[in-house]
Structure 1
Amino acid sequence: MAESELPNDLNLWIEETADGRLIQATRRPGGARREAWYVDIEKKNGEVEELFLRLDRSLRSETGDPYSSLRETEVYLALQNTSVPVPAIHGVLKSPQAVLSDRIDGDTWFSQIQDPDEQLSVAQDFMHHLAALHRIDPHSLDIPALGSVPTARESALREIDAWENLYQAAQAGPHPLIEFSLRWARQNIPDYEGPVVLVQGDTGPGNFLYAEGKVTTIVDWELAHWSDPMDDIAWLSLRAVQEPFTHLPDRLREYEQLSGHPLDEKRIRFYQIMAELRIAIMGHQEMKHRSSDREVGNGLIFGALHERLLVECLAKSIDLKLDPPKPPLPLETDRSWLYDAALDQIRSVIVPKSEDPFVILRAKGIARILKHLRDADSMGQEFEAQEKADLETLIGEHFEDAAQGQSVLVDRMRDGSLPAQALIHFFYRKAMRRTELVRSASGALAERHYPALF
């Protein structure tokens, strides 16, 4: 079955759960790891009920991922009678993992708001809701899937353990930057003994809907857990890189006043690294469980962005100054015109003639893939030579190729013989090469960094 369609068994479950006849199911853009669907249900009285379906076709037995739809649903249900706006849940299915909920009116992309006053109104309203979430006594929330409410240190260790397990379970080969970051995280957990709250994880623009200057609902709670409030502030700053969120220091001062939780830069910086580490591990998982049904083009540009941001955060944690390498001049190849011709046809024919938002999104994703392939064809050989030279400089040995050097690098890292500063410099040069290979596909994202906090 094409993954642009819903399985028959799932259609039957939707009808039984919604107590009506499924008359239309339309896949929507976005959803990241999980598909997003609009489903229309004709009720017995002839009225049409508009619902929303989140679907994850992956098998937990293969991925080892504890962040299930069932877990997320417990969070939604626990927040139903609070002031935090979340959609009502109609049903949850274990296999395939699916959640059927109300469809809430509102737009997703904060960056599409043109009116500065509306931007400010939406951003301030979101900060009110985030502060309200963090004011809830965690012991008043019934979320068995999250376990008992720990201390902040215990929470950080739980998260590090969970994500290290996911990294190991992926069996996608060693990833030096991830292993370095996991070790750094264990060694740098903040000394914080204050309140622990329910954090959304991955909170901020893109994970709430808005209309008429207000937030209508907050979605995507799959990474929710008990934690230090600064965990969510770190995620908010991360998402503000992707979609600038008005003047962030003003919003954070508002949060501080509304929530009663004082901001702490050192703790925020720690949780920024934790957030970027999670993204790196999710990307590493996809190397083993590759699927052409994902937003592959988006994955290229956001994978490169967040690898660079992770390295920049690690450098900042030890006050290490990074000097970007000079990229090589792009070379024209015999295939360059073919990439350009395909891109021109997508831009001038396919997208203008398409009306389905999902098709348009995929066409733009294909364009990003083609831009990356064009640039890899142009600069890839030079970057391979640079990688080999950097590994030889770092380790002090000669290698036949970069792959051999990477293998030795993992061994040297694990025995602790390479200094942190030298490793971070190496990771940065590597991340910048990856950035160059998606620069033309990334637009402004290629130059984005974390916004100021204060």
Structure 2
Amino acid sequence: MQTQEDQGSADTLNEQQLRNFVEQLLGGEIISMERLLRWRPAWNLELRRGGEVLALHIRGDRGGDVSPFPELRREADILTLLGEQGIPVPKIYGFCEEPQAIIMQQVRGTRDLATAASDAQRSDLARQYVQAMAAMHQLPLEPFTAQGIGLPLGAEQISLAGLEAYYPLYARNKTKPQPLAEFALGWLRRNVPKHRTKAAFVQYDSGQYLFENGKVNALYDFEFAMLGDPLADLASARMRDNYEPLGARFSELYRYYQEVTGEAADPDVVRFHTVLFSTVSTMQFSATIATPQPGDPHDTYIEFDIALRRVVVHALAEAMGIAIETPDLKIKASGPNAQLLLMLKDALEQLEVSGEFQKSKRQSVAKLVEYLTCADAMALQLLQIDQAEVEALLDRRFDDYSQLDAALEDFVKRAGPEYDERLLRLFMAQIERRVQVYGATAIGASASHIDLPPIESH
């Protein structure tokens, strides 16, 4: 078993290997190197070379089996191709094999639009981003297919490109039933937009850009990029607007995208891709929740899981024309292990750690303790309500809570579209209750703020 000391030694070795690689690749001497407080390895560094100082960023391998495209070099190659075709992305200097990492330009700027000078500047930045997105969608596809990126053909392949990319990861790692994911998968396959027959290069996790002094300097994070329906990027940007505002109302950017491209963007297709992107994102992290692995950023994965499941339900409700309902639930503040959890919280606070990175690790544990305190108070009650509702739907009794998801998933896979509304209302009640319980915690805060912006202004 790897101890904390072993992990620290490994991190030190990795950093030294990266320092050596960068200095050999670019010449010169590293004069500063800072590990960023992120859930994946990343560093900012400065390299003195002759009379200049290069600002660099290292994007490390996230580790774990949570990506449909685990080859980090793939992202480096995509960024290189985009830069060569005039899309504003970070310049790639090289790729380190051991440990795997992309050596790239450190782009000046921030993603925090609260720092923009005015609402007018925020709106202009959002339009600059849309222009870059639209230019990306109009790139020739041959350079990407020559790089080995698959080209979907026909409406079904184009519309479901993201689903087909993520599904092998989901199927390979699935250890427990996932009734909500299976319900969404069935709905998506039954509701493919048949008129979407033109593929484009899509970022697929869009809405990410850095700006400075009123100018968008770069789009970033192309880990999940692929060829597919360009409206998928509008959908994922729409989702991101919940926690990283785009700079203008989504309905305005939706309209502006159509002006820039000269092509209509069917709002029902954007709704379809909102369901699809939230579903595959949930699938991506489902195994990390069902079967946690040592070293995982557990608090982050739980946060993703509950927030994304709520988006799946809200997106399906929007697409199906069903109103969101919040069930009545009496919240208890503490459970049978309240005193023990207080002791754990106190013991954690007494731990002295040095350095911002280790402090961030302690904070992650504190988040888990806070979440566990709510679970101690309410988890059993949530399961009892779930059982009663599943029994009513399936017209059968269960002896154990552990039987519920397997039986529900089996029913979902066999049920026809006539059950769509009843099933959605069941999943809606389940997730809305959990947000009531956990929404006030640091882990549950993202889920409590889910609110898909309107596609069209009225």
How high is the TM-score relative to the length of structure 1?
A: 0.86
Q: Does 1:430 align with 2:435?
A: no
* 1:419 alignment partner, SS class: helix
Q: Show the counterpart of 1:54.
A: 59
Contact 2:334 2:374 in 1 (8 A): no
Alignment of 1:326-405 (within 5 A): 326-333=328-335, 336=338, 356=356, 358=357, 362=361, 364-405=363-404
Farther off after superposition, 238-247 or 333-342: 333-342
Listed as ranges, the matches of 1:156-195 within 5 Å are 156-195=159-198
Unaligned runs of 5+ in 1: none
1:273 to 272, 275, 286: 275
Match of 1:147 among 146, 150, 155: 150
Give the AA of the match of 2:310.
Answer: R
Which residue does 2:410 correspond to in 1? Answer: 411
In the TM superposition, residue 123 of structure 1 has moved relative to its aligned partner by: 1.6
Cα deviation for residue 209 of structure 1 reads: 1.1
Structure 1 pair 113/391, CA: closer, same or farther in 2 (3 Å)?
A: farther
Deviation track 1:43-98 (CA, whole Å, cap 9, x = no partner) reads: 3x375432111111526xx6684342122122111111333211111112455432
Show the counterpart of 1:108.
111
Kept in 2: contact 1:63–1:169 (CA 8 A):
no
Greater Cα offset, 137-146 or 247-256 = 137-146
Cα distance in 1, alignment partners of residues 42 and 74 from structure 2? 18
Gaps of 5+ in 2: 1-6
Aligned residues: 444
Among 301, 311, 314, the residue aligned to 2:313: 311
- Contact 1:199/1:232 (<8 A) preserved: yes
Stretch deviating more after TM superposition (417-426 or 323-332): 417-426
Matching residue's letter, 1:247: R
Aligned-CA RMSD value? 3.2
2:450 paired with 1:448: yes
C-alpha separation in 2, matches of 1:244 and 1:344:
36
Give deviations 1:345-400, integer Å, cap 9, x for gaps: 999x999x9984x5665555444323312211221221121122122112111112
* Residues 1:220 and 2:225 aligned together: no
User: Which piece of structure 1 moves more, 392-401 or 18-27?
Assistant: 18-27
CA contact (8 A) 1:69 1:97 kept: yes
Match of 2:230 in 1: 229
Note the alpha carbon deviations across 1:265-314, whole angstroms, 9 max, x for none: 11101111111012101111323673565543333333212101101222
Amino acid across the alignment from 2:384: A
SS at 1:98's partner residue?
A: strand
CA distance in 2 between counterparts of 1:36 and 1:10 reads: 11
Structure 1 residues 63 and 211: CA distance shift in structure 2, 3 A: closer
Q: Which residue of 2 aligns with 1:138?
A: 141
Contact 1:156 1:227 in 2 (8 A): yes
Equivalent AA in structure 2 for residue 388 of structure 1: Q
| Alpha carbons of structure 1 residues 288 and 444: separation in structure 2 relative to 1, 3 Å | closer
Q: Does the Cα contact within 8 Å between 1:74 and 1:145 map onto a contact in 2?
A: no
- Is 1:19–2:18 an aligned residue pair? no
The farther-off stretch of 162-171 and 318-327 is 318-327
Offset from partner CA, 1:204-245 (integer Å, 9 cap, x none): 1xx211111221111100111112221110011010122233
The offset of 1:452, in angstroms, is 0.5
Deviation larger for 227-236 or 176-185: 176-185
Establish whether residue 262 from structure 1 lines up as the match of residue 264 from structure 2. yes
Deviating more after overlay: 399-408 vs 303-312: 399-408
CA shift for structure 1 position 114: 7.1
- Partner deviation per Cα, 1:97-141 (whole Å, 9 max, x = no partner): 321111111113335557423322322221221122123233465
Matched, 1:68 2:71: yes
- In structure 2, relative to structure 1, the CA distance for the partners of 1:149 and 1:407 (3 Å cut) is closer
Other-structure match for 2:3: none
CA contact (8 A) 1:229 1:261 kept: no
Equivalent-residue separation in structure 1 for 2:34 and 2:296 (angstroms): 16
Q: Which amino acid aligns with 1:183?
A: G
TM-score when normalising by structure 2: 0.86
CA distance in 2, matches of 1:47, 1:141: 34
Give the secondary-structure state (helix, strand or coil) at the position aligned to 1:210. strand
Percent sequence identity over matched residues? Answer: 23
Letter in 1 for 2:454: A
SS in 1 for 2:121: helix
Q: Tell me, yes or no, if the aligned pair for 1:93 and 1:99 is still in contact at 8 Å.
A: yes
Q: CA 1:425–1:36 in structure 2 vs 1: closer, same or farther (change >3 Å)?
A: same
CA deviation vs aligned residue, 1:14-52 (integer Å, no higher than 9, x gap):
33323344454322133x5x4221133343x37543211
Choose from 39, 45, 48 the match for 1:39.
45
| Separation in 2, partners of 1:333, 1:149 | 52
Partners of 2:231 and 2:424 in 1: CA distance = 25
Which amino acid letter does the alignment assign opposite residue 27 of structure 1? Answer: R
Structure 1 residues 217 and 339 mapped into 2: Cα distance closer, same or farther (>3 Å)?
Answer: farther
Offset at residue 449 of structure 1 (A):
1.4
In structure 2, distance between residues paired with 1:15 and 1:288: 42
Residue 202 (1) aligns with residue 205 (2): yes
